[in-house]
Amino acid sequence: MNIRRIAIVEDEPDIAEIIAYNLGREGFEVQHAEHGTEGLKMIKEWKPDLAILDIMLPGMDGVEICRNIRQAENIRDIPIIMLSAKDDEIDVVLGLRMGADDYITKPFSPRELIERVKAILRRRRINDDSSENQLAYGPLSVDKDRHEVKLIDDNIDLTATEFKILSCLVERPGRVFKRDDLLSRVLGDDAIVIDRTIDVHIRSIRKKFGDHRDLIETVRGVGYRFKDIESL
Ligand code: CA
């Protein structure tokens, strides 16, 4: 297996060193930046498999780095874990709104962070290995070629838009998608949509999912995500 590369942007040397040391011991290749702008530059050039971003940084904060990554064509799908200095819900919500995959609040144990990193990379690998057009997660399988959705053995009949929304969510279990981000991914940036259009589609998908409706979770104030079954 390829060596997995992790970028760390963290201005507190002690914390960065502990993270880098522990990731290195697990066989990861690590690069580190202390400055936000330099961190973003490093990520753009190095294209790591995952980025760990502190929120409070000199130059450019972690939320802004996250936003930049999600808007850059060739790095927009890099998984991101945010480090939050305090249990500050606003930071965390902002980070998730910008497309972070997960967050962890300081102080944290290196073990905990490594487990989160591994979990995200493991999920990523499952979806990378399967042919790009065959997605499977928990009881759900999505066949993009045949436009087929199954829950266990039952075929679920979705509209074209519902199908696109579901595919988008299930490609990144656990990741929160903002409403407007989902809409632009599904309908394109040019689509004229009224606010909350996405809610109507989600409601309809859930209805068709019946007992499995909880697979699509609402994240208050942010948007939607496909349930991260591994974290249960
Ligand atoms: Ca900091």
What is the arithmetic mean of pLDDT over 89-98?
A: 73
**Residue 32 CA, ligand 1 centroid: distance in Å:** 13
Write the pLDDT tens digit of every residue in 31-55.
Answer: 999 999 999 999 999 999 999 999 9
* C-alpha distances out from residue 16 to 22, 65, 102, 118, 156, Å: 10, 17, 18, 18, 47
**Residue 53 CA, ligand 1 centroid: distance in Å:** 9
| Per-domain residue ranges of the chain | 5-128, 130-231
The residue behind tokens 């209805």 is 207
* Distance from C-alpha of 227 to C-alpha of 36, rounded to nearest angstrom: 31
**Residue 92 CA, ligand 1 centroid: distance in Å:** 14
**Residue 173 CA, ligand 1 centroid: distance in Å:** 28
Q: How far apart are the first and last CA of the chain?
A: 27
Return the CATH architecture of domain 5-128.
3-Layer(aba) Sandwich (3.40)
Write the pLDDT tens digit of every residue in 190-219.
Answer: 656 665 778 888 999 999 999 999 999 998
CA atoms in the 13 A half-sphere facing the CB of 194: 2
**Residue 120 CA, ligand 1 centroid: distance in Å:** 23
Between 135 and 157, residue with greater pLDDT: 157
**Residue 55 CA, ligand 1 centroid: distance in Å:** 6
**Residue 164 CA, ligand 1 centroid: distance in Å:** 38
**Residue 5 CA, ligand 1 centroid: distance in Å:** 22
What is the arithmetic mean of pLDDT over 9-18?
A: 96
Between 131 and 11, residue with greater pLDDT: 11
pTM of the model: 0.65
pLDDT band at 21 (very low <50, low <70, confident <90, very high): very high
* Distance from C-alpha of 134 to C-alpha of 16, rounded to nearest angstrom: 38
Between 187 and 137, residue with greater pLDDT: 137
* Distance from C-alpha of 35 to C-alpha of 50, rounded to nearest angstrom: 18
Give the Cα-Cα-Cα angle 169, 96, 113 (nearest 5 degrees). 100
pLDDT band at 6 (very low <50, low <70, confident <90, very high): very high
CATH number of 130-231: 1.10.10.10
